[in-house]
Structures are given as structure tokens and as C-alpha cells.
Structure 1
Amino acid sequence: MHLIMESEVPCSSANIGPGFDVIGLALSMYLELRVSIDKTQKPNASTPLNCTVTYSGVGAEGIDLNPANNLLTRTALYVLRCHNQHEFPAQTHVHIHNPIPLGRGLGSSGAAVVAGVLLGNVVGNLNLPKTRLLDFALMVERHPDNVAAALYGGFVGTYLNELDPDDMARKEVPLSEVLPQPAGGVDTGLTPPIPPENIGHYRRFNWAKEIKALAIIPDFEVSTAKAREVLPQSYRRQDMIFNLQRLALLTTVLSDSPPDPELIYSAMQDKIHQPYRKTLIPALPDILSSMSPRSHKGLLGICLSGAGPTILALATENFDAIAEVIVQRFKDEGISAEWKVLEPAEDGATITEVAGDVPSYRNEAHKA
């Protein structure tokens, strides 16, 4: 058995404060990937796509280990097939360890997609730069705030190019265009749609060293699709101006040292998505309206993480007390919750060079 790569991909929080679909933050909870190839073994017809998948971590009982269906290996196969490689190298084994809660607004699918493009790049010996890997990731998941944060790390602002109408209509690459149907069936030999170049862009913002992210994770899921459904098709001009004004300040004030609690708290207010998602997340209105730097020492600002239901509280101290208040708010609604203190994951997705020509991205994390 020949170990070829080990990788870590951070979770991420998006929609921070007024930054709906714009800003994301990579955080220090990591999906881990370990890949090996047994070159002494011949291809086995009983092994789908020459790949076996094992998994440990949260939600293990519900994870599909068929490489044709698993999101991570499906993404890797998409990258491979865009380069005329229609399966994994013979006797590939992929082990995924995932501590990131599923469906809780902490970028679990974004981390899996980023890990998938890294996997395809390595096993296919493609040597693609991170800028191109971002294109592939965005063809599978069109959330640049999560994906760019997980890939590049840190606190990032993102946007997608305005593509041709056919490309913009595509929310993700249909499974039928990437893998044989049904799963494990005969390969059509067709090349899936290849991403346009530079379809997404990002820039990193500075982050004050004093600020940590407190993630309070309630014990239920909110699907991104359902969270999108409750949003209106149009917004009042006043609400858009409200968010834009605060967003213009937030990306700068989070870099100030020492942080200004009142300014950060004010700049994290939102009228675009949180008011409409309160019906999906019990206790959210009470949490947002009753907690501030004046009432809770150390608190800087509070918001939904992604589409929720995780609550993200930015703070400099007093983490236990702040978390206990939010946990109790959920408990009052009959919902249990756990909490973690996380820091920005500055390096983003990294690969440990363990064999051959495996590329290392550890030093590329801060490049635009």
C-alpha cells in the first residue's frame, strides 16, 4: 500500500452579518483526507471506479461509500473526467474523517467539494494551480464564500463572474453529466462540461488576532434549499442600502486591533436573510435581539453561520458565559446544542507532501 497524500480542508462560515453570499471565514475544524494506492494489485472488476471509500466522523451511518455517489469522490471524478481520465488509479483507497456537522451552516459540503478537487488533482497528476481548482469547485457548488474560504483560508470576499446564460442557469453539474447512470453503470465516455476559467474571484481581508469565533451548533439541520425558499424574490431599497453600508465597514473593522465592540456589533446587523429565516430556527430572534457587547462582556457581534442553524458569535473573551446563554435559549425551545471556540484557518486547504510529486499548497494559501 503506497500512501500518496494527506490533506486537511477547513470548515467555513458564510453570510457573516450583512455579507449575504459575499463574505466567508475559514475556521479551525478540518475535514481530513488520507489517500493510498496499492500498486502491487491489479484492477478488480468488483471495485467500482477502482476506488474504495471509508469514513469516520459525524453522520457516519448516513454516508454513501459508493465512490460514484459520495460527494467528495464524485467531485474528484468530475475533475478527472474533464482531463480524459474516467476512473481512479487501480486500487485507490480514500479515507475521509469529518468532524464538521452536516447541514448546520458550517460549510460541510463546501469542504467535501474542495477536498474532492484536491483529490482529483493529485491522483490524476494534473498539477492544477489553486486558481483553476476554484473553477472546478464552483462548478459543483456555486457558493464562492464557502468554497474560496475553505480553499484559500482566512476571511475572504468573493464574487462570481456574470457568465453566459446557459452557465449561469447551471447551479451544479448534473450527476448524469459526471458519472454513469445508474451509479456503477457503463461509462458513456463523454467529457463533462469543463469550467470556464476564472469564474470566481476572491480577496482576503485582515482579521484581528484578538477575535475568535464561537460556534453554537444546535441539534437539527436546515437544508440550504429550504433556507433559500423562505427568502423574498425582491428587497426594499432601504434594506439593501442598510446591508451595503454595514458591509462596507465590517470588512475593515474586523481587522482593527484592539477591536471596537460597538462598531463591530452595529456593522454585523442584517436585513437580507436573517429576518426571513427566523421561522426555521427557533430562538434566533431572541438571541439576536437580546445579546450585545453591553449585555455580554467580550461579545463583538452575532449572526447566523451560513443558512444556519449554527449561531456564530465573534468574541474576545468570556466564551463560556456567552455560549451558555445561547445554549440555554435553544434549550428553552426544546433543542440541545453544543459549542466550540474556533479560530480563523489561515492556511485554507493543505496537502502534506508524503510521496512523489504531490503538490503542496501550504505556501500558496495567501496568494490572490
Structure 2
Amino acid sequence: MKQISVPGSSANLGPGFDVFGLALKATSPSQKFSVCLELQIEPLPPGAAPPGNCEIICIGEGADSLSTVYDENLVTKVALYVLRSHGIVGFHSPVRICMHSGIPLSRGLGSSAAAVVAGVMLGNEIGQLNLSMERMFDYCLVVERHPDNVGAACHGGFIGAFMKMQAPPSEPSETLSKSLDPPPEDIASYHRFQVNPDIKIIIIIPDFHLATTAARERLPQTYSREDAIFNSQRCSLLPVLLGESPLNPAKISEAMRDRLHQPYRQDLIPGFERVLQKLKPEVYPGLLGVCLSGAGPSILALATSNFERIAEAVCAILREAQDIRYDWQVLEVDHEGATCRDI
């Protein structure tokens, strides 16, 4: 039996809109969210063949909303595309796939990127294709066209990424349902940055969903030169600052400011604007900076200490603006990325 594990991720990270990605890992098995998608792949005897030779069991976060039909579930649809592009039609022998998600859905924690990465790895395993992680990265990007999330989920760590060529003209849904063609090679480049080991990630997770497509619709088609320069300047410094020892909270907090996406999305997360105003390192020792996780609605804070005080301060501000439940966890950087192991 095989187990595929893919970490959740946080994209954008302040000024790094569509550039930076951070792979996430729970600090303890007792935490509410493992922030990881796991697939257990178990061969079935020929006499127990389910429809499509694939039985799917979904448990964990959002399991009730996930399809258990082999050609509808995102993970298995991606696997079928990978197989089809290698001339393999469907799952060639019966298999049971148990999907356990510890990543909250539609909260800015990379649940869809993790599903796509897991699907590519599943296709690679089922078809015994022996694809490298670099080649699997190409497959991921023709379906989930965000190299920041996908790069972090695949490779782990704190990464910067960019597309080297335009994605194929077909929509991802068409690729999954019709395409026979493998993706071009070397679609994107990424680089793993060093992260000071004292840095932890506080994730504040609200009890509501926000679709990435809805958040994207809030963004303008063009930006001013001033805003582009503002973010470029901070993007150039943030990776260096996060790898330094000792850390400089004042510089990091300033380097995590953004003008390209957060100002246009902040009204989708009531109270977030006030969080940015109030949460400063000089007021909360140990805090390094605050930003949206991905497109939101989760909020991310980087810190080295005083985790509970920082998290509760964010939650208190958010509750003043909107009376809903908030969960929070302290996470670490996942340096391993996606894996496939015998169990």
C-alpha cells in the first residue's frame, strides 16, 4: 500500500502576489488541522472491481462536499489526465483510494493546489510512469496555474516562482476532460529561500469560505507605477530578511505590506484592515508581520514568540467586525513537500 502526502500552502505572503508560496505543517498531531492531504492507495482483488476500477473514500475537512465518483473527484480526474497523456486509459486494475484532508477548503490554505499535486502523483504511481518531481510540476501547472501554491506544495519550504511560458490555451477543465497531450516541459521556475528556524506561522481560520475566483474578481486590470514599484521593492527584500539571524521585525513588517491584492480584498474579510493597522511588532513583541493567506479569508502572521497573544488579538478584532467563529493554530514551514511512500 502506498501513501501520498501533500502539504497545504499559503500563497502571496504580503507583497509576493502570485510569486511567493509557503508550505505548511502542523506542529503536533493533536492540532485540529493537519494542514495536509493524504491519499492511501490500496490494490483491490479483481473480483471487487468498483466502477472505473476506482473506489474513493473521503474523510476529514470538507469530506461531505467532495465527490466519490472517479471521473468527478478533482484528485482522480487529474490522475486520469496524467495517465491519458501517456496512452493509458483509466485505472488498469482495481484500487481503493482513501483521501484524508486536513486542509480547510476555500480558506486560502492551498486545498485545491494540494489536490492537483496529489492527483499528478497518483497518476504517476498508478501508471508506474517514473516522472521526476520537476516533470510532475509541469503537469500540475496546466491544471492549477499558480506556481506559488503548486511550487510550495510540490517542493516544500518558502519558494518564489514564475511562469516561463504561457499556459496552454485550453481551460484547466478542458485539459482534465479532453486533453491527450502532455504539458510542455519546464513551464515554470522556482527557488527555495532560507527561512530562519525561529519563525513560526500563526494561521487564523474564519468559519466561512471564500472562493479564489470571487477574490480574483475584486482585482483591477491595471495598477499604477507607484503600486508596482511599492511591491517590487518589498519583494526584493522579504526573502532575505526572513532568512537572516538575528531577525529584524520592523523591516520584515514593512516588507510584508502590499498594494496589489490586499486592499481590494479586505472588505471580503471584515476586520482585516483594522488587523493590519493594529498588529505591529512594537506593540506585540515576537510578531514579524501579518498578511492574508492566499486570497483569504484566513490570515497569516509570522512570529517568533507570544503566539497566543498575537492570535487572540487578531481574533478579537475580527469578532468585533463579524460575530463568527475563528480557529487558530501555530504551524511550521514544511521543508519536505509532497511525498509518496510505502506503508
Settle same-fold status: TM greater than 0.5: yes
Residue aligning to 1:186: none
Residue aligning to 2:140: 137
Matches of 1:116 and 1:346 in 2, distance apart?
Answer: 21
Other structure's SS at 1:338 match: strand
Residue 312 of structure 1 pairs with residue 317 of structure 2: no
Residue aligning to 1:237: 225
Identity across matched positions, percent:
47
Match of 1:14 among 11, 16, 25: 11
Residue aligning to 2:328: 339
Residue aligning to 1:149: 152
Matches of 1:107 and 1:178 in 2, distance apart?
Answer: 19
Other structure's SS at 1:254 match: helix
Q: Is the alpha carbon distance of 1:230 and 1:7 closer, same or farther for their aligned partners in structure 2, counting shifts above 3 Å? A: same
Residue aligning to 2:29: none
Q: CA deviation at 1:178?
A: 3.4
Matches of 1:63 and 1:285 in 2, distance apart?
Answer: 33
Matches of 1:109 and 1:178 in 2, distance apart?
Answer: 14
Paired residues of 2:148 and 2:161 also in contact (CA < 8 A): yes
Other structure's SS at 2:288 match: strand
Unaligned runs of 5+ residues in structure 1 are: 180-189, 355-368
Other structure's SS at 1:265 match: helix
Question: Quick one: which amino acid aligns to residue 344 of structure 1?
Answer: V
User: Which whole-Å deviations, capped at 9, do the CAs of 1:256-312 have from their partners, x for residues lacking one?
Assistant: 112110010010000000000012111110001111101111100000000000000
Matches of 1:334 and 1:89 in 2, distance apart?
Answer: 51
User: What are the equivalent positions in structure 2 for 1:1-368 lying under 5 Å apart?
Assistant: 3=1, 5-28=2-25, 29-38=35-44, 40-42=45-47, 44=49, 47-163=50-166, 167-174=167-174, 177-179=175-177, 192-332=180-320, 333-354=322-343
Give the aligned length: 333
Paired residues of 1:253 and 1:260 also in contact (CA < 8 A): yes
Paired residues of 1:37 and 1:89 also in contact (CA < 8 A): no
User: Which whole-Å deviations, capped at 9, do the CAs of 1:142-172 have from their partners, x for residues lacking one?
Assistant: 0110001000000000011233xxx454442
Other structure's SS at 2:10 match: strand
Paired residues of 1:48 and 1:68 also in contact (CA < 8 A): no
Other structure's SS at 2:282 match: coil
User: Which whole-Å deviations, capped at 9, do the CAs of 1:220-253 have from their partners, x for residues lacking one?
Assistant: 1111111111100000100000000011000110
Matches of 1:334 and 1:353 in 2, distance apart?
Answer: 45
Q: CA deviation at 1:100?
A: 0.3
Matches of 1:350 and 1:74 in 2, distance apart?
Answer: 20
Other structure's SS at 1:250 match: helix
Matches of 1:228 and 1:168 in 2, distance apart?
Answer: 20
Matches of 1:334 and 1:169 in 2, distance apart?
Answer: 43
Q: CA deviation at 1:59?
A: 1.3
Matches of 2:200 and 2:181 in 1, distance apart?
Answer: 40
Q: CA deviation at 1:43?
A: 7.0
Q: CA deviation at 1:139?
A: 0.9
Unaligned runs of 5+ residues in structure 2 are: 26-34
Paired residues of 1:214 and 1:342 also in contact (CA < 8 A): yes
Question: Which stretch has the larger CA shift, 29-38 or 229-238?
Answer: 29-38
Q: CA deviation at 1:208?
A: 0.3
Q: TM-score, normalised by structure 1?
A: 0.88
Provide the aligned C-alpha RMSD in A. 1.3
Segments of 4+ moved more than 3 angstroms? 167-171
Q: CA deviation at 1:173?
A: 4.3
